Amino acid sequence: MLLRMVFTPVRNMTKARNFAFLVMGALLVFAVLSLLSSASSAASDDINKEYSTVPENDSMAVCFESFEDTRRLLYSSTDTDNSVHPEPIIYFVTPTYPRREQVAEITRLGQTLMHVPYLHWIVADDTPVCNNFLNNLLKKFGIPYTHIASPMPEFYRTKKLVPRGVANRRAALAWIRNNNKKTGVLYFGDDDNTFDLKLFSEIRSTKKVSMFPVGLIGDYAISTPVVKHGKVDGFFDSWPAKRKWPVDMAGFAVNLEYMGLSPNVTMPYKAGYEEDDFLKSIGLKMQDIEPKANNCTEILVWHTQTKNNKPPKIRISSGILRNNQVNLGVLLKKLEKMGVSHISQSEGKYLQNDNRRKRARL
């Protein structure tokens, strides 16, 4: 009896202490979740404040364009007579900017697009003037193309969140509008992405807006629509950020006739929300979305990214640069035009002479 009297209060105290710990733990979890929600809301508010009232002084210049397709031999064996019902043209928009890797990226992408019939390539370069070297490179592919110089307004270059590629895509949209392109399919393809050729045959039949998975995106390594019973029901993306359409720029295509129904189509200078606001501006509805890539079970485009490096400065004598008997002068001058490296006679890294196996100033 005495033992029961002693242990009963002890058990009651233990229960009370455990209950107190549970209450304190629940309050702590609630406090943490409240802080996270406030931080997320604050970040969203910061973005809205930064981009709420900004000028949009776009400028663009069409450097060169060609509507002649000289690639017929590449696909003549499978080409059919489409004179009565021609295939829709894919307007493939590529924003690009001067950097060490630009020519390599454009070369790789161009070699892919050479195999795609009925395609017009719009390459919008983030420069105030036309880049003749880039234009000559585009000519070599034989693809119908438009080369545009479309610099980002200086106002946005100093922002914490820089809306990269927006000026280029806006210039492409302006070109489509100014040239009265009302039929075909619009697709935004970055110069460092990787594309399966099947993608182009899939998006060519887009009636309104088609969507499909993009690999190597975010923390999930994938961004994709969620498809149920053949219809898009939602989205799987590691950065929803209160976006109505949480998709990647490479994950959708738009029919130009459908886009033409919306008079105020645009893409805002709002980093992280370019896709969302563009799709809002065309009046997209969930029932308008056409899932591609076998009901979004295949990956036909990858968001690959090339590591950017600073172009080196190579120190080389004027004699070598002028010496027609040595290839280095010609080669290094070409690399400088590409933005891959720079040459100087007074500073930079010495050119190495491998034959002598020692540093030599040539």
Positions marked catalytic: 275
Both tokens of 17, joined, read 């202490």
Q: How far apart, in Å, are the Cα atoms of 72 and each of 76, 89, 316?
A: 5, 15, 44
Q: β-strand 349-350 against 313-315: which pairing, if any?
A: parallel
Calculated CA dihedral for residues 278, 268, 177, 62, nearest 10 degrees: -130
Q: DSSP string spanning 291-304?
A: E-HHHHTS--EE--
Query: Residue 195 is inside which H or E element, if any?
Result: strand 194-195
8, 14 Cβ separation under 8 angstroms: no
- DSSP letter for 185, please: E
Q: How many CB atoms lie under 10 A from the CB of residue 169?
A: 23
Cα–Cα distance, 27 to 105 (Å, whole number): 53
Both tokens of 287, joined, read 């029932």
Cα–Cα distance, 238 to 190 (Å, whole number): 20
Both tokens of 201, joined, read 């045959």
Contacting residues for 316 by C-beta, under 8 A, at least 6 apart? 328, 329, 332, 343, 344, 345, 351, 362
Cα–Cα distance, 262 to 273 (Å, whole number): 19
Where does 123-191 have alpha helices with state H?
132-140, 154-157, 166-178
Q: How far apart, in Å, are the Cα atoms of 64 and each of 71, 110, 142?
A: 19, 17, 13
Cα–Cα distance, 184 to 119 (Å, whole number): 9
Q: β-strand 90-96 against 119-125: which pairing, if any?
A: parallel
